[in-house]
């Protein structure tokens, strides 16, 4: 597929030029009377710019593969489909299995293994008449089980599959709640694997079912429809746990699904890449999760796990064998989470400025000449980078609103990411945190404790702003400019995040109101 390159490269050049223009001025314009906030502000600024330039370097080249679907059923190799379960609702699991069986692939060339880590008798009975294999893995921490969590379940199912069908050529892993997206999923993925013998796995798009407006950005359009194209060009694609098809021999070479990290997907890709295998991103919808977290605790748990996994792998994991382009792609993942530490620095700088201690000291013209180009270039880069590729919902999207939603999640999750990064750094390579499964239901109530840090920050700014106005402690508007963009923007984003955290409660009230309205006439 042809991927547009010119708009992104033009925005990249503008951002790089604006950054080079801004940095010397930044370092020469620090407020010598308030170095206690000026230097942290400068460090945060430099890290933000470095993260942007790393993104520019990694996104300079983007690629999407040419479609290569298998043409005839007679050519179909034997594929094993592993569906690990751990207490998910049985109807949800059955919908997933049904979608897999109804795709455009001959049933006699597909072996579906449902590996039940919860030993649910209801699920076992429900599958008696289904053309699938029910597998009961050893209990967690039992002797002979390779991994306690999902990886252990998958490894047990994989060994079971090999014993039952040693001739299996490819292995798909699919989460228990992930229905099939494209009905040609296996034909498309297997066609790529058959074409390239050096290909270890093919990852597709996961496009979750979400509430109206996708308030928590569960679709992750920026990642799946933009950043993965750059990873494709650098051979730095990694599996995302579902909607992925593996070459069985590649899995065997890496020792099956790794158990060192919390979840197996990210590390399994790295293990294959550093051994010389290739990974491929195919921009078709391969998995459609039936449930996405829409309550704050579950959302925090999911995103915190991703941040913790990334930190442990990039800092403490074995990346030997990856080339420089691949390492830069994974480093960008770590930088994304490290950027959360700049949020409190920018907020403190804003509070300091309101109380008469701005981090920068310069004339109005200097601010305009140096800051405005960087601000415009940054906004342009983010907008172009967030433009989704090959998205069938293009007409339904409002580009600026989508970008605002993405940035709201970045700012609002800063406390979660900071905690996860710290946990990953302090824990070291040998202290693996306990993994908890993401719940498949929402806890629709006001989780005020979870958003207390964001609420305290917003309220503190309001109090300081009122105090600054009352006692005229704030400097002139020119000196405020430097901290207002970086700090006030985060305040607005945090306030927006707090309002989104009430989403589940608003939905629950709406449903309750409708039920009452239906009951009242009868009463």
- Distances from the Cα of 490 to the Cαs of 99, 349, 350, 458, in angstroms? 42, 12, 10, 10
Who's near 388: CB < 8 A, 6+ residues apart? 221, 222, 225, 226, 394, 397
* 370, 383 contact by CB (below 8 A): no
- Distances from the Cα of 280 to the Cαs of 17, 135, 158, 204, in angstroms? 32, 30, 22, 9
Span 294-317, pLDDT tens digits:
889 999 999 999 999 999 999 999
User: pLDDT-based confidence at 475, cuts 50/70/90?
Assistant: confident
| Window from 27-41, 77-91, 436-450, 456-470 with minimum mean pLDDT | 436-450
The residue-averaged pLDDT of 8-13 equals: 96
Q: What percent of the chain has pLDDT over 90?
A: 72
Domain spanning 73-292: CATH 3.40.50.300: no
d(Cα 208, Cα 227) in Å, to the nearest integer? 18
Domain segments of the chain as ranges: 6-60+336-389+396-415+440-507, 73-292
- 511 pLDDT more than 70: no
User: pLDDT-based confidence at 523, cuts 50/70/90?
Assistant: very low
User: What pLDDT is stored for residue 149 in this prediction?
Assistant: 86
Span 75-116, pLDDT tens digits:
789 999 999 999 999 999 999 999 999 999 999 999 999 999
């Amino acid at each position: 597929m042809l991927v547009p390159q010119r708009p992104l490269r033009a925005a990249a050049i503008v951002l790089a030029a604006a950054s080079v223009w801004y940095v010397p001025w930044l370092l020469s314009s620090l407020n010598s009377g308030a170095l206690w906030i000026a230097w942290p502000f400068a460090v945060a600024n430099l890290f933000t710019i470095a993260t942007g330039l790393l993104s520019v370097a990694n996104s300079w080249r983007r690629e999407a593969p040419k479609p290569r679907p298998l043409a005839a059923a007679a050519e179909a190799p034997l594929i094993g489909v592993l569906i690990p379960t751990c207490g998910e609702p049985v109807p949800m699991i059955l919908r997933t299995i049904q979608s897999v069986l109804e795709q455009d692939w001959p049933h006699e060339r597909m072996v579906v293994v449902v590996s039940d880590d919860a030993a649910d008798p209801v699920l076992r009975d429900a599958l008696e008449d289904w053309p699938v294999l029910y597998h009961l893995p050893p209990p967690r921490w039992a002797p002979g089980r390779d991994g306690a969590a999902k990886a252990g379940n998958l490894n047990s199912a994989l060994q079971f599959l090999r014993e039952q069908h040693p001739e299996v050529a490819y292995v798909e892993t699919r989460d228990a709640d992930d229905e099939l997206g494209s009905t040609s999923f296996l034909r498309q993925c297997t066609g790529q694997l058959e074409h390239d013998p050096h290909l270890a796995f093919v990852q597709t798009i996961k496009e979750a079912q979400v509430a109206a407006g996708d308030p928590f950005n569960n679709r992750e359009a920026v990642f799946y429809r933009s950043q993965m194209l750059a990873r494709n060009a650098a051979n730095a694609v990694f599996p995302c746990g579902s909607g992925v098809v593996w070459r069985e021999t590649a899995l065997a070479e890496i020792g099956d699904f790794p158990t060192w990290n919390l979840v197996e997907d990210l590390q399994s890709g790295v293990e294959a890449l550093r051994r010389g295998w290739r990974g491929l991103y195919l921009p078709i919808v391969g998995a459609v999760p039936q449930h996405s977290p829409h309550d704050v605790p579950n959302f925090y748990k999911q995103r915190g796990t991703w941040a913790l996994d990334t930190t442990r792998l990039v800092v403490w994991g074995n990346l030997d064998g990856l080339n420089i382009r691949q390492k830069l792609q994974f480093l960008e993942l770590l930088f994304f989470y490290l950027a959360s530490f700049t949020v409190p620095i920018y907020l403190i700088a804003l509070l300091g400025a309101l109380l008469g201690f701005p981090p920068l000291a310069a004339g109005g013209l200097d601010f305009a000449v140096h800051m405005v180009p960087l601000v415009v270039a940054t906004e342009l880069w983010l907008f172009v980078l967030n433009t989704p590729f090959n998205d069938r919902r293009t007409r339904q999207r409002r580009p600026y609103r989508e970008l605002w939603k993405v940035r709201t999640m970045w700012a609002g999750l800063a406390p979660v990411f900071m905690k996860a990064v710290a946990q990953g750094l302090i824990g070291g390579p040998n202290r693996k945190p306990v993994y908890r499964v993401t719940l498949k239901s929402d806890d629709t109530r006001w989780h005020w404790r979870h958003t207390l840090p964001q609420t305290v920050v917003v309220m503190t700014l309001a109090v300081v702003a009122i105090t600054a106005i009352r006692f005229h402690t704030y400097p002139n508007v020119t000196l405020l400019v430097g901290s207002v963009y970086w700090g006030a923007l985060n305040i607005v984003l945090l306030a927006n995040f707090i309002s989104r955290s009430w989403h589940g409660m608003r939905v629950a009230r709406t449903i309750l109101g409708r039920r009452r309205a239906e009951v009242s006439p009868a009463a």
